[in-house]
Amino acid sequence: QKEVEQNSGPLSVPEGAIASLNCTYSDRGSQSFFWYRQYSGKSPELIMFIYSNGDKEDGRFTAQLNKASQYVSLLIRDSQPSDSATYLCAVKGSSASKIIFGSGTRLSIRP
């Protein structure tokens, strides 16, 4: 079992709709969870982090965490063409210095 799993996509969403990205993880001792966005040819940039169960909202982005189910998701409301990118889920596990990434979900927003 992979430590952090994501559907590789591509996920195609019409402009203005909600994009839903999902991630599961295997380490029950995981502490913090991150969503990074990576444009083609660029390095990852942090969009959101979450460490408590429930929802966390920041603008058009909402991160959701369910530690019992070992599941974290990212919702993007009012999707824009500029949201087209690969979204990486990352998990900080029991080892404080170790952050493990999923393989990423490629999101395409169609006009």
Partner 1 sequence: ETGVTQTPRHLVMGMTNKKSLKCEQHLGHNAMYWYKQSAKKPLELMFVYNFKEQTENNSVPSRFSPECPNSSHLFLHLHTLQPEDSALYLCASSQLRDTITGELFFGEGSRLTVL
54, amino acid identity: G
The 10 Å CB-count burial string (b at 16+, else e) for 43-71 is: ebeebbebeeeeeeeeeebbbbbeeeebe
Q: How far is CA 50 from the centre of its chain?
A: 10
Select 20 or 32, whichever has its Cβ closest to partner 1: 32
CB of 106 to partner 1, least distance (A): 11
CB of 3 to partner 1, least distance (A): 9
Positions touching partner 1 (CB under 8 A) are 4, 31-32, 34, 42-46, 49, 51, 88, 90, 92, 95-104
Select 15 or 57, whichever has its Cβ closest to partner 1: 57
The tokens of 37 are what?
Answer: 């966005």
CB of 72 to partner 1, least distance (A): 14
